[in-house]
Structure 1
């Protein structure tokens, strides 16, 4: 069972998720954790960093049906950040908190113990989907996952109806050119006060006094960080790398940028919702 509030991952939508996963592996030294194939989508989840530092990125793309929501998303927007995902100890209780705070969701599934979930739709505030989930079969400890390629998929979280959890495993054979540590995800918000209610009061983030991004507020979970800044349009366009020997890396519409190159991030631009 999920025992704490966690920032689970940022998910980036790509037409070819395997190619995205190989780029994460080669350019950032990402360690793949688990994946799955469904009619609507396929995905692979990876950790970028060390046992003590870093965070998770997901690459998501079209599934086997050829007409699922990821096909529609990519046809409308192209490759870009698709959703932020959070894990909570009690999804039913969080659902009540969301309702009391005036948040609405478009889909929920609380009947599958391995992966209960609901989705806040893209809005003018955040500009992308927000997934909130809970599971009775959480991932094994990170130290264990980073120490071996072996995965016991039968006791790991996955979506209802997911199959082929190992579809991505040849990513292991991609040569690693560089290793990086994932830093904060930079979330542009048109209403930071509203974002604060969601991230801090409902999703359990700690508010950190200092943020590496000027003009932003930093939210921290044991599994990752989000820096929130006010912007004309919501969305995620940048993720910081706290350790990297390479120039910026672009995965779809998301730039992974060194913290020592913050001056090049610039002002937030347009971001379709």
Structure 2
């Protein structure tokens, strides 16, 4: 009969638990997978010279930061365009998602599940052939190489998050609260504005953040529809990485990473479990 490892290694009343070894190995591996690439990214942002076989940069400095933010650099213009496009994408997506989410959550619509699945269609097909044809169509109508054209492309992806989370947010609100407001004389619009909308605000805020992050990181649509007239951070990151300039690429990636981490913390704060449980229902 095999005895537990703790009993085998029991000496003088002390117990040696060997289960900490695989636990430590697993935690160490997870930490390496998560923080290893981030550490490498941070090192490249301050590396002046770094080449094989050196495990760490030879020289450190911030000269590449100065190049990125120089007046002739495209970083500030790209950052401004990315923030502008992401903000407009959020505005358009929520303008469409709030009435759509409310209708899907409150009304007995036929084929409701089909309507929700239809918003997943832009995610169901490869982006490359879709955006090539979108760019050809936008070129014919004068939207190629414009901010509105890029915003429209980003909205097609952002609506997935906006509509699904907005539907879940409205579905999580008790209908009796609206009915109580209606019973004391409030109209449908006022009950929605004063009761339903404030209660759904955390979920709508979370959907806005998801849309913002999706737009901020979108590359394929920005490249085929916006380049070269609309410079954006993902395009700057790609061109710097393709050219072997890993310092500038890492600095651009860090500029994209910081708002992503901040917004995800906001999502964790506002997106509650009762909203998540309603997603897709």
Per residue, is there more strand in 1 or in 2?
A: 1
What TM-score, normalized by structure 1, do the two folds share? Answer: 0.21
What TM-score, normalized by structure 2, do the two folds share? Answer: 0.20
Per residue, is there more helix in 1 or in 2?
A: 2
Which structure is larger by alpha-carbon Rg, 1 or 2? 2
